[in-house]
Amino acid sequence: MKSLLIIEAKKSPEFLERLLRVCRHRGFTVDSINAETGSVKQVSHITLTVCSERDISLLTKQIEKIVGVLQVATLQQEQNIKATA
Amino acid sequence: MNGAHFVVQALKEQNITQVFGYPGGAIMPLYDALFDGGVEHLLCRHEQGAAMAAIGYARATGKVGVCIATSGPGATNLITGLADALLDSIPIIAITGQVPTHLIGTDAFQEVDVLGLSLACTKHSFMVQSAEELGPIIEQAFEIATTGRPGPVLIDIPKDIQVGPSVAHALAKLVNSDKQLNSKRIEQAKSMIESAKQPLLYIGGGVGMANAVEELRDFIQETKIPSVCTLKAIGCVPHHSPYFMGMVGMHGSKASNLAIQECDLLIAVGARFDDRVTGKLDEFAPNAKVIHLDIDAAEIDKLRQVTLSMTDNLKQVLPAIKAKTNIAPWQKQVAKMKIDYANRYDHPGEPIFAPALLRKLAEIMPTDTVICSDVGQHQMWVAQHMFVDRPENHISSSGLGTMGFGVPAAVGAQVARPNDTVIAVSGDGSFMMNVQELGTIKRKQLPVKILLIDNQRLGMVRQWQELFFNGRYSETILTDNPDFVTLASAFDIPGETIVTKSQIDQALQRLLKSEGPYLLHVSISEEENVWPLVPPGAANDQMMESVG
Ligand SMILES: Cc1ncc(C[n+]2csc(CCOP(=O)(O)OP(=O)(O)O)c2C)c(N)n1
């Protein structure tokens, strides 16, 4: 099942590495990723589509534990993602 | 003050009095600062030993353990220890030297991307990029290591930042972050406990980590709910409690594993449904509703879907969910299972039966003795047959199962608790994995006692080869072991070998009474197995048992 994740995190050089490692290790493949860092607030905004047989909450709870993560929002189901695309 | 002196000062402010490590090029400024005193440094003989000593220190006290290594090979040698601390949620801080900032990314001498390596084996990690960052990072590192679910944190410090000027940093006052409990959930938990006919506590390492042993004991005292524990939770419940059945899982007691299968309410307290505990997951506690209490939200519904969960501090939750129980028939059944399936020590013949020896040792060792176990059959025998007063007194590499853990962990525990007896129980395979730490024992004259259970085999693997690989003993026969007593004597550690039952009592006395370190080398049959055993993939009631 595909899910769309919207993540806000404090800017740090290795944040994307941490995030992608957690996705892979917990059994999620990343289908697409977009990351932008605002210059003012030092916050990174990352949009991620991931795919797995596993329940998405298994991933979001792990992402929430990464130090520096400020917020994680999820949109599940292929249809929802298409609808918002 | 330069960066290195600043680090030592910051460690002092965090109440760190002793650290374990090994010097080298990129960390030399820090060693130079340590030379001035203030924080005692203990030289281990391998960075893996230093990391495991820091773990032993942390586990024996509940405080943070600190280890230090140089860049490159020093840092890579720490990795196994960090992974061990991550899987067992142990608060340690690793400080590594890094090549100077301008050389990072140039494949400089002894440069390894330590931050990259750390991602999979720490709770969090930092690379210090400027002098201003040093203070805040050290403060954050201690906070991250100790709060929520504890874990290892690594700080990589380039050499130029160690030698450059430091920037003052004032420690923030820590605020108590206990949340208000959710009263609806508390009521629901109480009513589930009240209406359960066969409730069971499944106690994990989180209880000790949360410093909630007293709260747990109170809860048990009042509710009289039977309990089982994981490898990490040994010591939480006094072993003689009538409804405590010991360890659950692959080498758990028969009573524990049967009780799990029969309970109608499972209360998991700081436990995480590890596969070595559950056996076949969908047949684990098949008839039970589950209440899961764990500080880490990511553990909830990870492996077992639960009826009710709370992620609050166990110290707060346990007193709040005390409820009236009416479970006399279940208590009777549990007490009977505990007696019917009690361990037996009437082993025939003269050769030493390790479970009986360990039982004897547990009976005669002083209060508050710390047992540091290595990994293999002897580790499971310790878990099954020894007992300790509190979880800090049973230190065993549980999640990672790291051979070589026992001796360095005992070094750390002994440094942390110089007045308590510390015994490393090791196997002939495991002992050789960090045998260089005998040098640390000698250097500091640590009175660590070593009980080496020698079956001339990698026994645990040999057992699996016997049972599941048609007796094909591929690379598990160690008849070419060194003479261990001679080996110890090279480090001025006295010792002796025993081979028959009649020698046990006096040898254990000599081990316990020795003023300094001591090696008791116990020769046992290579054929002994650990029973019971839940074979891989089977449900916990499908135990294999000794045929003898
Ligand atoms: C670092 C490491 N390597 C390999 C293993 C796999 N392993 C688990 S138990 C064991 C044998 C341990 O032998 P020994 O220390 O002699 O203890 P025994 O089982 O004989 O009591 C091995 C090789 C491990 N757990 N850790």
How do residues B472-481 score in pLDDT, each as one tens digit? 999 999 999 9
Reduced to 3 states (helix: H, G, I; strand: E, B; else coil), residue A40 is: coil
Contact B298/A62, CB-based, under 8 Å? yes
In three-state secondary structure terms, B465 is: helix
Same domain for B361 and B491?
Answer: yes
Catalytic residues of B: 47, 109-110, 159, 460
Interface test with B, best of A61, A62, A72 (most B CBs within 10 A): A61
Residue type, B215: E
Decide if B212 is inside a domain. yes
Report residue B473 as tokens.
Answer: 């003993």
B365 and B492 assigned to the same domain:
yes
A43-68: average pLDDT:
97
Longest dimension (CA), chain B: 72
Mean pLDDT of A41-58: 95
Residues B12, B147 within the same domain: yes
Claim to verify: residue B370 and residue B504 sit in the same structural domain: yes
pLDDT exceeds cutoff 80 at B176: no
**Closest residue to atom 16 of ligand 1, CA basis:** B429
User: How many other CB atoms sit within 10 Å of the CB of residue B83?
Assistant: 18
Asked if A25 is an interface residue toward chain B (Cβ–Cβ < 8 A), one would say: yes
DSSP notation for B402-453: -TT-HHHHHHHHHHH-TTS-EEEEEEHHHHGGGGGGHHHHHHHT---EEEEE
pLDDT at B352: 98
Note down the domain range covering B365.
354-523
B152-161 pLDDT, tens digit each: 999 999 999 9
**What's the whole-number mean pLDDT along residues A5-32?**
97
Q: Which atom number of ligand 1 is nearest to the Cα of residue B403?
A: 26
CA torsion sign for B517, B425, B358, B474 is negative
CA nearest A15 in B: which residue?
B119
- Ligand 1 center from residue B456 Cα (angstroms): 12
Kindly list the residues from chain A whose CB atom is less than 8 angstroms away from the CB atom of residue B297: 61, 64
> Do B212 and B108 belong to one domain?
no
Is B298 in contact with A64 (Cβ distance < 8 A)? yes
Number of domains in chain B: 3
CB-based contact B29:B159 (threshold 8 Å): yes
φ/ψ (deg, to 5) at B177: -105, 20
CA B403 / ligand 1 centre spacing (Å): 6
Q: Are B197 and B151 within one domain? A: no
Task: Report the DSSP beta bridge partners of residue A5.
Answer: A48, A74
Q: Which CATH class is domain A2-78?
A: alpha beta
Q: Which residues of B touch A58 (CB under 8 A)?
A: 298, 301-302
Two tokens, residue B191: 């009513």
Tell me whether A18 touches chain B (CB under 8 Å): yes
In three-state secondary structure terms, B31 is: helix
Report if residue B327 sits inside a domain: yes
Contact A67 B302 (CB under 8 A): no
**CA Rg, chain B, in Å?**
24
Task: Report the predicted TM-score, pTM, of the whole model to 2 decimal places.
Answer: 0.97
Contact check, Cβ <8 Å, B120/A21 = yes
| Contact between A71 and A45 (Cβ < 8 Å) | no
- The CATH number of residue B474's host domain is 3.40.50.970
- B115 and B189, same domain (yes or no): no
Same domain for B155 and B190, yes or no, is no
| Cβ-Cβ contacts under 8 Å for A39 (sequence gap 6 or more) | none
At A79 the pLDDT is: 52
Tens digit of each residue's pLDDT (9 = 90 or more) over B16-59: 999 999 999 999 999 999 999 999 999 999 999 999 999 999 99
Listed residue (B338, B344, B383, B298) closest to B546, CA to CA: B344
Q: Would residue B544 count as lying in a domain?
A: no
Mutate to test the pocket of ligand 1, among B430, B477, B480 (most ligand atoms within 8 A of CB): B430
In-domain check, residue B22: yes
- Look at B119 and A14 and tell me if their CB atoms are within 8 Å: yes
3-state SS assignment for residue B12: helix
Are B119 and A21 inside 8 Å of each other by CB?
yes
B190 and B101 together in one domain: no
Partner residue facing A67 (CB), from B124, B298, B302 = B124
Q: Is the pLDDT of residue B4 over 50?
A: yes
Q: Hunting for tokens 């960075």 — which residue is that? A: B47
Determine which residue's CA is closest to atom 1 belonging to ligand 1: B403
3-state secondary structure of B349: coil
Distance CA B38, CA B9 (A): 8
Last residue in a domain, options B135, B163, B191? B163
Tokens describing residue B302: 């990870």
Same domain, B336 and B434: no
C-alpha B102 to ligand 1 mean position (Å):
43
Task: Nearest by CB to B119, from A18, A58, A62: name it.
Answer: A18
B458 lines ligand 1 (CB under 6 A): yes
Is residue B178 a part of any domain in this protein?
A: no
Contacts of B219 (CB under 8 A, 6+ apart): B225, B318, B319, B321, B322
Residues B445 and B469 both lie in one domain: yes
Span from the CA of B181 to the centroid of ligand 1 (angstroms): 43
Q: What is the largest CA-CA distance in chain A?
A: 38
B473 lies in a domain? yes
| pLDDT tens profile B190-243 | 999 999 999 999 999 999 999 999 999 999 999 999 999 999 999 999 999 999
Out of A14, A25, A65, name the one closest to residue B298 (CB). Answer: A65
* C-alpha distance from B299 to closest chain A C-alpha (Å): 9
Average pLDDT, chain B: 97
Burial of B510 (0-12, 13-18, 19+ CB in 10 A): middle
Please indicate if any CB of chain B lies within 8 Å of the CB of A54.
no
State the smallest CA–CA distance between residue B67 and chain A in angstroms: 22
- What crossing angle do the helices spanning B131-146 and B3-13 adopt, rounded to 10°? 30
Q: What is the pLDDT of residue A83?
A: 45
**Same domain membership, residue B227 and residue B97:** no
Q: Is the pLDDT of residue A85 over 50?
A: no
pLDDT of residue A77: 62
Residue B535 counted as domain residue: no
Contacts of B300 in chain A (CB under 8 A): 61
* pLDDT computed for residue A80 by the predictor: 52
- Mean pLDDT (whole number) for B125-144: 98
Q: DSSP letter at B236?
A: S
CB contact under 8 A, B144 and A67: yes
Q: Is B375 in the pocket of ligand 1 (CB under 6 A)?
A: yes
Residue A81: pLDDT above 70? Answer: no
